[in-house]
Amino acid sequence: MSFPNPPKAIKLVLLGEAAVGKSSLVLRFVSNDFQENKEPTIGAAFLTQKCTIGDKTIKYEIWDTAGQERFASLAPMYYRNAQAALVVYDITKPASFLKARHWVKELHEQASKDIIIALVGNKYDLVEDSNDELRKVSVEEGKKLAEEEDLLFFETSAKTSFNVNEVFIGIGSKIPDNSPVTETRPENGARIDLSSQPAQKSNSSCC
């Protein structure tokens, strides 16, 4: 008999230029859904999703922020205390990659010190089928930035769901396991030994 660990809540914030697909990534991750023309986010949207990685369960509390420059002054409200951040850009829009650099810099300067950041180049579907003339930000550029700044790096497509769950699993596996999971259940007076849990490796399934 085994009890799943109580899920560990992780505050995650999405940052990036307008219309790079932040809300779509979240929609894909949370509802496994996609909308072709998703309306712009005003202020910020909030969603949650649980994610099982090995034997640990993470509950993501996702803050999906508005991308337009004007709303940048609201962003600190959301990334303050965040344990994880997705900095999203559009691999067909070089300007969005510049903006991503800026966000990474700001996070390093202003966010909590051990925040885990994933750099995400979205809209991979547009360059699939060797349709390379649309790609404006190379994989190498992304990787290079990620290496320089110590970020996780993914190229994703919210549309085809390519690599989307991997981003959240990747972040989840990097979250340190120091959560005080010493919650005991008083029933039967028996302590539940959480450490000797049979490894029910559900192959890192999200959703």
Interface positions with other proteins (CB under 8 A): 18-19, 37-48, 61, 66, 68, 70-71, 73-74, 77, 109
Copy the structure tokens of residue 24: 């779509």
Identity of the residue, 2 or 69, whose beta carbon is nearer to other proteins in the bound complex: 69
Question: From CA 23, how far away is CA 86, in angstroms rounded?
Answer: 11
Distance CA 86, CA 100 (A): 10
The least CB distance from residue 149 to other proteins, in Å, is 17
Measured from the CB atom, is 146 or 159 closer to other proteins? Answer: 159
User: Which SS3 state, helix, strand or coil, does residue 195 take?
Assistant: coil
The residue type of 29 is F
The residue among 32 and 68 lying less far from other proteins, judged by its C-beta, is 68
Smallest distance from the beta carbon of 110 to other proteins, in angstroms?
Answer: 10
What's the min distance (Å) between Cβ of 92 and other proteins? 13
Nearer to other proteins, 38 or 143 (CB): 38
DSSP 66: -
Name the strands in the sheet holding 8-16, side by side, starting at the edge strand that comes first in the sequence. 44-53, 56-65, 8-16, 84-90, 116-122, 152-155
Q: Provide, rounded to whole angstroms, the least separation between the CB of residue 68 and other proteins.
A: 5
